[in-house]
């Protein structure tokens, strides 16, 4: 695995990029956690320690008491204690693990009547993590049948120019893409370079939730640098609706007990995400039908739920030639059955009645790890250790099962986010892997 490691030294670069502001942004307090292995990775059986530093107004917190709890990734604490900072610093023994995985050191300090929290995760032989989720014997048959049934419905869409998201370098179109004869559809913004030629196509599925496509121009550099990019939503909701309309729909149809990721989970044929996965394949049908496509390059790219859908699309559709995914959701979702972290949406932790044989069986047909095993395209993944939404345990598991050409950018300090520089780096990686 290629590892490009970011360290706490990045703080100086951030300071240079934010004029007249401090890091963290407008916060009085700064935590710094420094594991005694620079890459935050240990072998199973090795003991880890973390130096904790705490500053308020940039001044070391002398004699500040830091309480800590330590446990497995997203698991209850098995160790508790406290340390008193001297000149703002103290060492905490994190312990070790006999099996591959992560330990999370969760910190709290109360200063001037206010409590501040932080955490840091370190890995133990994570390259040896294996999925709990097994591939069903008829996995390929199930999905090949579903794709074949979808092909019976002709490619049907509308395409309308969107002036407000077009510039002197790119053109934007709102696309309504029909999925089946039942009238279900998805919407997406399609961005073209404003020049003659034929170009690679990039499918960008969304993160989790029922929401509009926020900041459509955020990644305009894809089209500016010669890619056709299709940013989609997955619920059949026009992204031109107002934020309030989306909020009302989400409140009505995406609660903890009735969320779309739970919908139909008792039956693999009725699960909500079946239509979503097939929508990604239909999006590839659409993109490869465009006369401006270069006829060679098809890229799937996204983060979180979008990262999951990018990997799933690459596994489902061999037309995909490259895949970029950061901290993918929907990965080894039943991993909690192995006594460790499972993937978002954390069914067993966030809802009751999810641990049933029927639901667990359905999960296996929709789990990223089983699609990842099928990917042949060049694949690039990135994830952080401190992520509690899509934990590093499950990102490593996905990466470990990939049998294709693969690279990883591991950013230990990151929680559930990627920097603008990292996201721009996705385009740079894609350009290096064009056919």
What is residue 13's predicted lDDT score, i.e. its pLDDT? 41
In the numeric block, the tokens 């160790």 are attached to 79
What is residue 23's predicted lDDT score, i.e. its pLDDT? 65
What is residue 10's predicted lDDT score, i.e. its pLDDT? 40
| Model confidence pLDDT, tens digit, residues 53-74 | 999 999 999 999 999 999 999 9
Q: In degrees rounded to 5, what are phi and psi of residue 265?
A: -65, -10
Which residues are CB-contacts of 100 (< 8 A; sequence separation ≥ 6)?
44, 124, 125, 126, 127, 128, 129
3-state secondary structure 379-404: EEEEECCCCCCCCHHHHHHHHHHCCC
Give the tokens for residue 179.
């999925």
Band of the pLDDT at 181, cuts 50, 70, 90? confident
Whether residue 249 has pLDDT greater than 50: yes
Which bin fits 258, alpha (ψ -120 to 50), beta or left (φ > 0)?
A: alpha
Please list the residues that pair with 35 across neighbouring strands.
50
List strand residue ranges (DSSP E) for 219-351, in order: 228-232, 293-303, 322-326
Please list the residues that pair with 382 across neighbouring strands.
326, 409
Spatial separation of the C-alpha atoms in residues 396 and 302, rounded to whole Å:
17
Across 71-85, 115-129, 231-245, least confident range:
231-245
Do 323 and 301 touch, CB atoms closer than 8 A?
yes
Q: In degrees rounded to 5, what are phi and psi of residue 354?
A: -90, -20
Please list the residues that pair with 175 across neighbouring strands.
159, 188
Cα 82–Cα 84–Cα 85 angle in degrees, nearest 5:
130
Q: What is the pLDDT averaged over residues 149-155?
A: 94
Spatial separation of the C-alpha atoms in residues 329 and 306, rounded to whole Å:
8
Give the residue, 16 or 69, on which the prediction is more confident: 69
What is residue 359's predicted lDDT score, i.e. its pLDDT? 95
Whether residue 266 has pLDDT greater than 90: yes
Please say if 289 is a catalytic residue. Answer: no
Q: CA neighbours within 13 Å on the CB side: how many for 243?
A: 2
Give Cα 93 distance to the centre of its chain: 30
Band of the pLDDT at 37, cuts 50, 70, 90? very high
Q: Express as a percent the part of the chain with pLDDT over 70.
A: 94
What is residue 11's predicted lDDT score, i.e. its pLDDT? 40
What is residue 252's predicted lDDT score, i.e. its pLDDT? 86
> Which CATH architecture is the domain 139-432 placed in?
3-Layer(aba) Sandwich (3.40)
Please say if 27 is a catalytic residue. Answer: no
Q: What is the CATH number of domain 10-128?
A: 2.60.40.1930
Query: Which of 118, 219, 283, 304 is an active site residue?
Result: 304
Spatial separation of the C-alpha atoms in residues 174 and 116, rounded to whole Å:
44
Give the residue, 385 or 243, on which the prediction is more confident: 385
What is residue 21's predicted lDDT score, i.e. its pLDDT? 57
Kindly list the domain boundaries of the chain, sorted by start residue: 10-128, 139-432
| Model confidence pLDDT, tens digit, residues 197-226 | 999 999 999 999 998 898 999 999 999 999
State the maximum Cα–Cα separation within the chain, in Å, rounded to a whole number: 71
What is residue 55's predicted lDDT score, i.e. its pLDDT? 97
Give Cα 277 distance to the centre of its chain: 16
Query: Which of 283, 378, 387, 433 is an active site residue?
Result: 387
Give the residue, 22 or 392, on which the prediction is more confident: 392
Query: Which of 346, 416, 426, 433 is an active site residue?
Result: 416
Band of the pLDDT at 6, cuts 50, 70, 90? very low
Do 108 and 67 touch, CB atoms closer than 8 A?
yes
Whether residue 16 has pLDDT greater than 90: no
What is residue 22's predicted lDDT score, i.e. its pLDDT? 62
Q: Average pLDDT of the chain?
A: 93
Please say if 416 is a catalytic residue. Answer: yes
Across 101-105, 174-178, 215-219, 254-258, least confident range:
254-258
Cα dist. 196→105, 193, 293 in Å?
54, 8, 11
Band of the pLDDT at 356, cuts 50, 70, 90? very high
């Amino acid at each position: 695995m290629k590892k490009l490691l970011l360290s706490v030294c990045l703080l100086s670069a951030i300071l240079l990029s934010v004029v007249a502001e401090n890091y963290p942004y407008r916060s009085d307090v700064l935590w710094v956690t420094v594991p005694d292995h620079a890459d935050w990775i240990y072998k199973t059986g090795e003991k880890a320690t973390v130096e904790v530093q705490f500053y308020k107004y940039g001044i070391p917190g002398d004699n500040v008491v830091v309480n800590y709890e330590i446990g497995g990734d997203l698991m209850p604490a098995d160790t508790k204690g406290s340390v008193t900072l001297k000149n703002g610093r103290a060492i905490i023994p994190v312990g070790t693990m006999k099996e591959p995985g992560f330990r999370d050191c969760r910190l709290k300090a109360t200063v001037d009547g206010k409590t501040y929290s932080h955490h840091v995760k370190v890995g133990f032989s994570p390259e040896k993590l294996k999925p709990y989720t097994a591939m069903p014997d008829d996995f390929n048959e199930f999905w090949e049948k579903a794709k074949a049934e979808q092909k019976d419905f002709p490619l049907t869409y509308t395409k309308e120019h969107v002036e407000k998201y077009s510039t002197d370098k790119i053109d934007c179109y709102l696309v309504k893409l029909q999925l089946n004869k039942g009238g279900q559809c998805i919407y997406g913004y399609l961005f073209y370079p404003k020049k003659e030629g034929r170009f690679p196509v990039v499918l960008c599925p969304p993160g989790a939730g029922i929401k509009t496509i926020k900041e459509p121009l955020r990644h305009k550099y894809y089209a500016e640098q010669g890619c056709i990019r299709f940013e989609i939503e997955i619920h059949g909701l026009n992204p031109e609706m107002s934020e309030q309309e989306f909020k009302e729909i989400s409140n009505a149809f995406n609660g903890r007990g009735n969320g779309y990721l739970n919908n139909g989970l008792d039956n693999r044929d009725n699960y909500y995400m079946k239509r979503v996965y097939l929508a990604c394949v239909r999006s590839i049908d659409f993109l490869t039908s465009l006369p401006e496509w270069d006829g060679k390059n098809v890229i799937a790219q996204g983060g979180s739920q979008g990262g999951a859908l990018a990997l799933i699309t690459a596994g489902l559709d061999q037309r995909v030639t490259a895949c970029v995914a950061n901290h993918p959701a929907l990965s080894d979702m039943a991993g909690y059955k192995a006594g460790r972290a499972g993937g978002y949406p954390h069914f067993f932790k966030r809802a009751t009645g999810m641990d049933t044989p029927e639901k667990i069986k359905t999960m296996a047909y929709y789990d990223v790890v089983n699609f990842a095993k099928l990917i042949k395209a060049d694949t690039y993944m990135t994830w952080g250790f401190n992520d509690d939404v899509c934990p590093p345990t499950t990102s490593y598991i996905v990466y470990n099962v990939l049998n294709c050409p693969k690279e990883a950018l591991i950013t230990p300090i990151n929680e559930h986010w990627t920097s603008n520089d990292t996201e721009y780096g996705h385009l740079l990686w894609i350009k290096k892997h064009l056919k």
